[in-house]
């Protein structure tokens, strides 16, 4: 029996002691964080699964892992199939599985600080009438078993100055106060770490891939706010920055503080809050209202200072990406590199940049069949060599005080097959068309997503992920709810000027290769003569060459060629003066016009 199998046995014994017939466990922490700190990696400790989204259900006689399509292959590589069955969340929810596999009247324990309101309600609804009971636990049983569990990080807080944030904390708090007054609520509870960091203009390093600190907040209708945070992390500068308007308390004082809200109308966001908060407020006698959290839209719409910061961060980041691509063009054909060594090299180039705070996520560095898995991260066990003839994909990003980056490039190591060039060019056509499209302000991202798929659809091809996601400003690299999803999504926000999203169509051939081209774009106003409604378009802000060797020019229109030539000219103009001379010479070739005679093509419909 492996180590994870032993842990499963011990957990089952503990469940018997707790008078429970089962237990369900999800990824994440008490703030629904996508990439939580190590102390919250309970599912990884129990099962070995390291993906960002997943759940486990454990009964006396069987157990199951629940993941979506992103992690179908990863869960089988990381988790012992003898211990757990593997379930596709799109086909079978955990409530359905429990209804079929647990005995009538079973008591299923769960940690209410880790499960969202709607998720728990859906399971309860599915189990209604079965006699089964979901039992919220005061303590997570994993914490009593994980003897060497890391402590919750307590890194120093630092101020995000108004010269970078573009707005004062006081101004943001005033907006929340106005929202409470208009909503006739007494207080609003903030749980999401990026919302708290944005509202109070503070940052930290508690999360490995985002400049966030563990904290809760309660904002009140009188304009004050309570910030629950480890006070030892606060410097005099941060305390002075927060001022008298913000009361400070310990992180562990948050849940007890909810008991004092008796009789008050308190707003929570059910999509961003664990059900434990709803339960605590209800038990305290508060009136609980469920609303979209008031900082959400304001955080998504970047102000002019944030947008300019993002542009500048992408220039610096483009230097690192360009240097990496030049390095790979030399080292890749030698056959001495691997997925892990390439990922390390990409991060090393970023570390040399001014203001580099850390990566915005661990690099997805994938060669050949690995790249056919859209959310693949290399491990020592899976680490593939990069050989001549490989198709290599790297998806990576950085965190800087003036912005967050996320960029994907796919390159060929040597001469590509005709099929690979065809697929790459179709992905490129979709990328260009989306980058150049005009659309009415407020258009849902799900309505734009098909624009990036048309060239693939024409060949009977597609990809099984959304085309883009929102991006924070020195916050989370995945910021919702503004997305370009592959279909309508509950709570989806219409795109407004100032929103920053990714443009990342792809194609994946299982067991062979994968392709993705990703740039970040900012939605900007476009003036069109005779337009009868406000129009938006996208300004591409990522800067790095796209592999010309993978392009089948005959598949591109003159307008598409002209778009790419203009983009590459901008890359050379902005990045060329900032890289070493050998990289500059390589970049000049990498950004040369695809076909010089296409420069004069009519491109009025392909603005950028």
| CATH number of the domain that residue 227 is part of | 3.40.350.10
Predicted local distance difference test score (pLDDT) of residue 137: 98
Is residue 151 situated within a structural domain?
no
Per-residue model confidence as pLDDT tens digits over 142-201: 999 999 999 999 999 999 999 999 999 999 999 999 999 999 999 999 999 999 999 999
Question: Minimum mean pLDDT among 83-87, 239-243, 489-493, 497-501: which range?
Answer: 489-493
| CATH number of the domain that residue 560 is part of | 3.90.230.10
Per-residue model confidence as pLDDT tens digits over 375-408: 899 999 899 999 999 999 999 999 999 999 999 9
Predicted local distance difference test score (pLDDT) of residue 1: 56
- The answer on 226 and 343 residing in a single domain is no
Q: What is the rounded distance in angstroms from the CA atom of residue 390 to the CA atom of residue 413?
A: 5
Predicted local distance difference test score (pLDDT) of residue 303: 98
Is residue 458 situated within a structural domain?
yes
At residue 344 the predicted structure's pLDDT band, cuts being 50, 70 and 90, is very high
Is residue 528 situated within a structural domain?
yes
Average pLDDT of the segment spanning 352-371: 97
At residue 597 the predicted structure's pLDDT band, cuts being 50, 70 and 90, is low
- The answer on 166 and 114 residing in a single domain is no
- The answer on 539 and 456 residing in a single domain is yes
Is residue 552 situated within a structural domain?
yes
Q: What share of the chain has pLDDT > 90, as a percent?
A: 91
- The DSSP secondary-structure symbol of 531 reads -
- The answer on 393 and 535 residing in a single domain is yes
Q: Which residue has the tokens 């890359």?
A: 571
Average pLDDT of the segment spanning 37-48: 97
- The answer on 141 and 121 residing in a single domain is yes
Is the confidence at residue 487, as pLDDT, over 90? no
Is the confidence at residue 598, as pLDDT, over 80? no
Q: Give the pair of three-digit tokens for residue 429.
A: 């056509």
Predicted local distance difference test score (pLDDT) of residue 602: 36
Is the confidence at residue 73, as pLDDT, over 70? yes
- The answer on 351 and 222 residing in a single domain is no
Is residue 150 situated within a structural domain?
no
At residue 606 the predicted structure's pLDDT band, cuts being 50, 70 and 90, is very low
Is residue 439 situated within a structural domain?
yes
Contacts of 41 (CB under 8 A, 6+ apart): 27, 50
Q: What is the rounded distance in angstroms from the CA atom of residue 24 to the CA atom of residue 94?
A: 9
Is the confidence at residue 492, as pLDDT, over 90? no
597: Cα separation from own chain's centroid: 41
Predicted local distance difference test score (pLDDT) of residue 608: 57
- The answer on 103 and 16 residing in a single domain is yes
Per-residue model confidence as pLDDT tens digits over 194-239: 999 999 999 999 999 999 999 999 999 999 999 999 999 999 999 9
The number of domains in the chain is 3
- The answer on 169 and 133 residing in a single domain is no
- Concatenating the DSSP letter of every residue in 225-279 gives EEEEE-GGG--HHHHHHH-TTEEEE-GGGHHHHHGGGTT-EEEE-TTTSBHHHHH
The rounded mean pLDDT for the chain is 95
- The answer on 178 and 138 residing in a single domain is no
Domain termination residue (choose one: 246, 273, 291): 291
Is residue 153 situated within a structural domain?
no
Is the confidence at residue 491, as pLDDT, over 90? no
193-200 and 169-183 are packed helices; what angle lies between their axes, rounded to 10 degrees? 120
- The answer on 163 and 132 residing in a single domain is no
Own/partner contacts of 520-524, CB < 8 Å, gap of 24 or more, are 520/310, 520/314, 520/405, 520/406, 520/407, 520/471, 521/435, 521/468, 522/302, 522/307, 522/310, 522/498, 523/495, 523/496, 523/497, 523/498, 523/499, 524/497
- The answer on 136 and 114 residing in a single domain is yes
User: Which structural domain, as residue segments, surrounds residue 515?
Assistant: 301-600
Domain termination residue (choose one: 111, 145, 179): 145
Is residue 226 situated within a structural domain?
yes
Predicted local distance difference test score (pLDDT) of residue 316: 98
Q: What is the CA radius of gyration of the chain?
A: 25
Is the confidence at residue 603, as pLDDT, over 70? no
- The answer on 320 and 429 residing in a single domain is yes
Domain termination residue (choose one: 224, 257, 291): 291
Q: Give the pair of three-digit tokens for residue 160.
A: 């995000």
């Amino acid at each position: 029996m492996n180590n994870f199998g032993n842990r499963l046995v011990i957990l089952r014994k503990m469940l018997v002691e707790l008078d429970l017939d089962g237990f369900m466990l999800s990824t994440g922490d008490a703030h629904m964080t996508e990439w939580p700190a190590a102390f919250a990696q309970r599912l990884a400790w129990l099962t070995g699964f390291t993906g960002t989204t997943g759940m486990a259900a454990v009964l006396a006689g069987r157990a199951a892992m629940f993941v979506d399509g992103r992690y179908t292959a990863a869960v089988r590589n990381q988790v012992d199939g003898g211990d757990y069955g593997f379930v596709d969340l799109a086909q079978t929810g955990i409530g359905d599985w429990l209804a079929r596999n647990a005995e009538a009247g079973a008591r299923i324990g769960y940690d209410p600080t880790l499960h969202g309101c709607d998720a728990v309600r859906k399971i309860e609804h599915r189990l209604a009438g079965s006699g089964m009971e979901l039992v919220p636990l005061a303590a997570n049983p994993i914490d009593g078993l994980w003897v060497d569990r890391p402590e919750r990080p307590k890194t120093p807080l630092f101020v995000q100055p108004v010269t970078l944030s573009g707005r004062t904390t006081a101004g943001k708090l005033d907006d929340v106060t106005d929202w409470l007054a208009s909503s006739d609520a007494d207080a609003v509870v903030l749980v999401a770490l990026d919302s708290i960091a944005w509202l109070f203009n503070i940052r930290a390093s508690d999360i490995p891939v985002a400049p966030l600190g563990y904290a809760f907040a309660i904002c009140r209708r009188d304009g004050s706010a309570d910030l629950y945070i480890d006070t030892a992390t606060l410097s005099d500068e941060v305390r002075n920055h927060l001022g008298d308007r913000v009361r400070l308390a310990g992180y562990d004082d948050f849940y007890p503080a909810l008991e004092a809200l008796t009789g008050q109308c308190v707003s929570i966001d059910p999509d961003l809050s664990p059900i434990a908060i709803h339960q605590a407020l209800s038990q305290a006698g508060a009136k609980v209202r469920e609303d979209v959290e008031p900082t959400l839209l304001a955080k998504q719409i970047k102000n002019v200072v944030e947008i300019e910061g993002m542009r500048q961060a992408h220039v610096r980041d483009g230097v690192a990406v360009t240097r990496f691509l030049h390095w790979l063009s030399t080292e890749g054909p030698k056959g001495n590199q691997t997925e892990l060594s390439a990922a390390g090299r990409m991060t090393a180039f970023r570390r040399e940049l001014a203001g580099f705070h850390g990566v915005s996520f661990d690099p997805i560095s994938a060669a050949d069949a690995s790249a056919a898995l859209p959310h693949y991260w290399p491990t020592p066990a899976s680490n593939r060599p990069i050989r001549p003839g490989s198709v290599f994909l790297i998806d990576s990003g950085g965190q800087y005080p003036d912005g967050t980056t996320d960029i994907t490039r796919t390159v060929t190591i040597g001469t590509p097959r005709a099929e690979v060039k065809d697929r790459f060019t179709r992905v490129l056509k979709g990328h260009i068309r989306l980058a150049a499209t005009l659309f009415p302000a407020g258009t849902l991202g799900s309505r734009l997503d098909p624009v990036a798929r048309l060239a693939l659809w024409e060949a009977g091809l597609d990809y099984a992920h959304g085309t883009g996601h929102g991006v924070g400003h020195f916050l989370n690299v995945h910021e919702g709810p503004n997305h370009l999803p592959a279909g309508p999504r509950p709570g989806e926000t219409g795109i407004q000027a100032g929103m920053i999203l990714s443009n990342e169509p792809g194609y994946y051939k299982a067991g062979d290769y994968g392709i993705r081209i990703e740039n970040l774009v900012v939605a900007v106003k476009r003036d069109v003569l005779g337009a009868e409604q406000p129009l938006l378009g996208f300004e591409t802000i990522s800067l790095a060459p796209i592999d010309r060797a993978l392009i089948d020019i005959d598949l591109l229109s003159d307008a598409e060629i002209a778009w790419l030539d203009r983009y590459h000219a901008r890359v050379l103009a902005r990045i060329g003066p900032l890289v070493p001379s050998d990289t500059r010479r390589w970049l000049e070739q990498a950004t040369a016009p695809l076909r010089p005679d296409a420069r004069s093509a009519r491109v009025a419909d392909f603005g950028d």
